[in-house]
Every structure is written in C-alpha cells, then in structure tokens.
C-alpha cells in the first residue's frame, strides 16, 4: 500500500516566507552559523569552536539572569530571584555537560590545531569575568586583558564596582533587622569580600529558625545551590584541560591546570558554607 507523504501545509502550517519572518530569521541563524571559521584544516577544531561558542551563549543568559537577581534582591522582591537563581543552576549543569563533549578530543587531536589559537585563551572570556564579578569574585587585575576593548572594559568596570549578588543579599539581611557590620554594608564593592562574624551570626540565626525567616532561608539555599553548580563547572574545566594538555602552559600564558586549580579554592559565599558546621 502506497503511503502519501505527510504535508504539514494541509493542516495549516506556514510553508512560504516571502517577506515574513521565519524561524531562522528570528534566531539570526545566518549570523550564528557563519561564525564557525576554523583557522586550520584539523577536523577537531570545529568541535573546539562550537563548544566554546555555545558556552558563551549560555553565559550570556547567566549574566542576564544574575543582573536581574541583583536588582530584585535590592528591591526586596525575592520570589523572582529564586526562579532566576534556580535557572542559573540549571544552565551551569548544561555547561557542565558540554565538557563531556569536549573530552572526546584527545591530546593528539588538540595538537593538530593548537598553534592556530595563538594567544587566545578561555581566561580572557569577558563574559566569564562578568559572571565572576556578579557572583562576588572581584579581581581588578583580571580587567587588563580587556583594555584593548574600551566598551567591554567599561562594562566590566561597572560590574566590578557594583554590589554582587552576595553583597545585595547581605544588605537585605540588614534591612530585615539583622545586625550586619557597617564595614560589610559600606565597603568598596570592587574588592574581594572577606568573611565577617556578623554575617555568620545572621545566617546561623536564619538556619536555626527557618520558619521565622523562610524567604531568607530559601535565598540562602538558592545561593548555595548556585555555588555548588559553579564549583562543579570549574572542577570539570580543570579535569578536561588536564586530560587534553596535561600540565602544559596555557595558550594565554597562564600555568594552565595549576592556574585553574587556584580558582577551585575560591569560595563565593563563605558564611553559608561555614554555618553548616555549627548547626
């Protein structure tokens, strides 16, 4: 029996796009899919490019969400920030899965195009730097790789000098009546955050009586969830790089794996982790 090929137009599907916006038009796929331009003849360079470009697109969304999280917490509007932080955690999980794809590339395959990368390196990602700054890992020295791009440098400087999501959370604790040291609330936002006893005491009080402080308790857990996934992303980055290049110097001149391991020591929300020992 002959089967008639399915024609979605018979059910009302739009099939002609003469002057009307199509799926590809809306997503600007012509621009996105023309951005994969390998600089060598190596087969695996395409994998390297796609993995990093896809990660940068996801990071674009992380920045969008974290920027809004800061604004909502600053406005005492916590419910939307919970949804956004949960979304960011899922994005980081997605980024973690991307490392699994890159790990299919062997050291031998990477060496076939590594020279084509020149001095470019992932640590120069301005979007990753923005995420670090928004999350509270402030380091003005990491602005220097972007001085040749005045617009990007100015954008990062603005984020560097604004309160992070943790800074905004601590200001919220003060507005809710918790005794947070003035030095925490009025500090130089461009400097790395230092653990503070008053902050530890506030979170401890919240964790000991969640029912009386439920929204703040939920905020604390959303922040821990975010950092948990962020740590996994960093860790998987380290193991992926070690698997592919060992302990060679990175293309950007860093110490490679040793540099990335230093990043694993960074704790974004120290009191939220330390308080667990005392409960």
Residues 6+ apart with CB under 8 A from 66: 84, 88, 131, 134, 135, 165
Find where tokens 């899919």 sit. Answer: 33
Q: What is the pLDDT of residues 199-256, one digit of tens each?
A: 999 999 999 999 999 999 999 999 999 999 999 988 888 888 787 767 666 565 655 6
42: number of Cβ within 10 Å? 17
86: number of Cβ within 10 Å? 14
Q: Any known ligand binding at 49?
A: yes
- Domain regions of the chain by residue span: 43-182+191-276
Residues 6+ apart with CB under 8 A from 238: 257, 260, 261, 263, 264
Q: Any known ligand binding at 51?
A: yes
Q: What is the pLDDT of residues 73-115, one digit of tens each?
A: 999 999 999 999 999 999 999 999 998 899 999 999 989 999 9
- Residue 204 and residue 207: Cα distance in Å, rounded? 5
- Residue 238 and residue 229: Cα distance in Å, rounded? 14
Q: Any known ligand binding at 237?
A: yes
Q: What is the CATH number of domain 43-182+191-276?
A: 1.20.58.480
pTM summary value? 0.90
CA neighbor of 91 nearest in space, from 237, 226, 222: 226
- Residue 195 and residue 113: Cα distance in Å, rounded? 44
Q: Any known ligand binding at 110?
A: yes
The larger pLDDT score, comparing residue 200 to residue 123, is at 200
Task: Report the pLDDT value the prediction gives residue 1, as an integer from 0 to 100.
Answer: 66
CA neighbor of 146 nearest in space, from 123, 162, 115, 164: 123
How large is the angle between the packed helices 78-102 and 45-74, nearest 10 degrees? 170
Task: Report the pLDDT value the prediction gives residue 57, as an integer from 0 to 100.
Answer: 97
Helices (H) and strands (E) in the chain, counts: 13, 0
Lowest mean pLDDT among 13-17, 175-179, 211-215: 13-17
CA neighbor of 59 nearest in space, from 139, 167, 120, 134: 134
User: Average pLDDT of 156-177?
Assistant: 98
Q: What is the pLDDT of residues 16-52, one digit of tens each?
A: 888 888 989 999 999 999 999 999 999 999 999 999 9
Q: Any known ligand binding at 43?
A: no
């Amino acid at each position: 029996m002959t089967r008639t090929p399915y024609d979605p137009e018979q059910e009302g599907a739009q099939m002609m796009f003469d002057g009307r916006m199509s799926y590809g038009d809306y997503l600007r796929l012509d621009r996105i899919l023309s951005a994969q331009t390998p600089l060598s003849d190596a087969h695996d360079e395409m994998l390297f490019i796609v993995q990093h470009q896809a990660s940068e697109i996801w990071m674009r969304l992380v920045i969008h969400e974290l920027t809004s999280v800061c604004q909502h917490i600053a406005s005492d509007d916590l419910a939307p920030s919970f949804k956004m932080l949960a979304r960011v955690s899922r994005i980081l999980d997605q980024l973690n899965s991307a490392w699994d794809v890159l790990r299919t590339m062997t050291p031998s395959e990477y060496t076939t195009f590594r020279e084509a990368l020149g001095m470019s390196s992932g640590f120069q990602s301005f979007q990753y730097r923005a995420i670090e700054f928004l999350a509270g890992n402030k380091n003005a020295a990491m602005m220097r790789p972007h001085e040749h791009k005045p617009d990007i440098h100015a954008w990062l400087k603005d984020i560097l000098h604004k309160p992070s999501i943790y800074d905004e959370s601590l200001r919220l604790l003060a507005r809710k009546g918790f005794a947070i040291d003035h030095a925490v609330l009025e500090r130089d936002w461009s400097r790395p955050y230092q653990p503070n006893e008053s902050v530890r005491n506030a979170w401890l009080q919240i964790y000991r009586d969640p029912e009386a402080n439920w929204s703040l308790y939920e905020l604390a857990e959303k922040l821990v969830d975010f950092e948990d996934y962020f740590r996994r992303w960093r860790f998987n980055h380290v193991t992926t790089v070690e698997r592919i290049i060992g302990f060679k110097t990175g293309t950007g001149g860093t110490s490679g794996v040793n540099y990335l391991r230093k990043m694993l020591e960074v704790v974004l929300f120290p009191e939220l982790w330390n308080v667990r020992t005392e409960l």
